[in-house]
């Protein structure tokens, strides 16, 4: 077989399509937005909603394997339409990652620590949960949040109903604020035979809820890296996962770690792998879902990856003059505030 179907045509789908092309695969991308960045590099585009069963069946009939670039693919339609063709990562991973309550329960159920949390369905439940968890909390919608959207801080002043209503009174999760020193992530892959390969963890800085910078190794000590690898492997095995996963962590002052959330896909904090490793996270994902041998995730350089958000993309021409810098632009014609337009990775020698 030689055609890979990709659900989602954003920059992640685009980079997956590029990696697939380099391995000699054809790609078909499905996305409802006709302006999707991935359509520029895919062999074929299907413009359709993710729950359009006819379109999903059409995609399936033309592909040898189907994967996805984002975690909000509707699980029911995908399961019922993508039959007889591999769908990786498994839909069970989607179900876990789509809902912050299911995700936290899954993690705690396999002994992985998270922020203290309560499921919230009403203002009354929010009031009770605040008594349990304390007022230093973040309220998040259970589903569809990204880049810090769908989150509200609980304020001491003002009624607690404000936060709940500001999120549209949707089903929520209340999370205790974790006093972390820094955030880190693990990008790891599991192959069809159950083999696991993990990249070195990244030290991540966010601003306004959006990933700003990932440094490798950054502040991540060998002890913390080891704990992150063990945690990642436990998650991958429990989900009988196939493909690349991103696991976001909080690291406390005593070097203990908690999981913030998991992304059942390639992850922004792994973009540096295209510059500092022989096999990028995108190629690794394509290899895993196509049943090919996984690549060695070893790193040949230290690096810092930075996102180009909104009109920061104007910096790209001056960046082109720098040595040891790998620039990647997503081909998005419209610049919008907060929109990820590209990223770059600066490489430095490993000491």
Question: Residue 174: is it exposed, middle or buried by C-beta count within 10 angstroms (0-12/13-18/19+)?
Answer: buried
The answer for residues whose C-beta is within 8 angstroms of residue 68's C-beta and 6 or more apart is 6, 7, 8, 78, 89, 94, 265
Q: Which residues pair with 245 in a beta bridge?
A: 188
Contacts of residue 222, defined as CB under 8 A and 6 or more positions apart, other chains included, come to none
Angle between helices 91-98 and 100-109 (to 10 degrees): 110
Q: Does 74 bind ligand ATP (CB under 6 A)?
A: no
Q: Which of residues 95-134 bind ligand ATP (CB under 6 A)?
A: 115
Using the rule CB under 6 A, which residue among 183, 200, 274, 306 binds ligand ATP? 183
Stretch that binds ligand ATP, among 7-15, 138-146, 157-165, 320-328 (CB under 6 A): 138-146
Neighbours of 269 (CB within 10 A): 29
Using rule CB under 6 A, residue 144 touches ligand ATP: no
147 belongs to the binding site for ligand ATP (CB under 6 A): yes
**175 touches ligand ATP (CB under 6 A):** yes
Closest CA to 186 of 226, 147, 213: 226
- Nearest CB to Mg ion, comparing residues 28 and 107: 107
Asked if residue 260 binds ligand ATP (CB under 6 A), the reply is: yes
SS3 207: strand
Q: Does 261 bind ligand ATP (CB under 6 A)?
A: yes
Q: What is the C-alpha to C-alpha distance for residues 292 and 267, in angstroms, rounded to an integer? A: 21
Q: What is the closest distance, in whole angstroms, from the C-beta atom of residue 9 to ligand ATP in the complex?
A: 18
Q: Footprint of Mg ion on this chain (CB under 5 A)?
A: 248, 261
Binding-site annotation: residue ranges: 100, 140, 145-151, 175-178, 183, 206, 260-261
Q: Footprint of ligand ATP on this chain (CB under 6 A)?
A: 115, 138, 145-149, 175, 177-178, 183, 206, 209, 248, 260-261
Binding-site annotation: residue ranges for ATP: 100, 140, 145-151, 175-178, 183, 206, 260-261
């Amino acid at each position: 077989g030689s055609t890979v179907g990709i659900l989602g045509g954003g920059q992640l789908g685009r980079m997956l399509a590029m990696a697939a092309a380099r391995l000699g695969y054809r790609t078909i991308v499905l996305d409802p937005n006709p302006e999707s960045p991935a359509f520029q590099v895919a062999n074929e585009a299907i413009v359709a909603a993710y729950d359009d069963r006819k379109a999903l069946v059409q995609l399936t009939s033309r592909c040898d394997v189907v994967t996805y670039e984002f975690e909000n693919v509707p699980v029911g339609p995908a399961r019922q339409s993508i039959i007889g063709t591999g769908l990786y990562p498994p839909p069970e991973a989607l179900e876990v990652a789509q809902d912050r309550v299911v995700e936290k329960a899954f993690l705690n159920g396999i002994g992985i620590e998270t922020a203290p949390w309560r499921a919230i369905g009403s203002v009354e439940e929010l009031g009770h949960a605040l008594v349990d968890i304390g007022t230093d909390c973040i309220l998040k919608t259970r589903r569809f949040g990204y880049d810090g959207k769908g989150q509200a801080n609980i304020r001491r002043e003002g009624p607690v109903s404000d936060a709940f209503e500001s999120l549209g009174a949707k089903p929520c999760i209340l999370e205790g604020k974790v006093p972390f020193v820094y955030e880190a992530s693990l990008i790891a892959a599991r192959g069809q035979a159950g083999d696991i390969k993990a990249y070195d963890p990244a030290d991540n800085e966010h601003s306004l809820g959006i990933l700003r910078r990932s440094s490798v190794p950054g502040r991540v000590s060998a002890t913390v890296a080891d704990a992150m690898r063990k945690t990642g492997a436990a998650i991958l095995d429990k989900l009988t996962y196939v493909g690349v996963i991103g696991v976001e962590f909080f690291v406390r002052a005593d070097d203990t770690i908690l999981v913030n959330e998991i992304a059942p896909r390639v992850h922004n904090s792994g973009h540096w792998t295209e510059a500092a490793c022989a096999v990028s996270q995108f190629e690794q994902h394509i290899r895993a879902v196509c049943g090919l041998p996984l690549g060695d995730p070893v790193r040949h350089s230290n690096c810092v990856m930075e996102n180009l958000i909104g009109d920061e993309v104007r910096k790209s021409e001056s960046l082109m003059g720098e040595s040891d810098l790998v620039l990647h632009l997503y081909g998005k014609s419209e610049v919008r505030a907060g929109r990820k337009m590209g990223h770059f990775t600066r490489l430095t020698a490993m000491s």
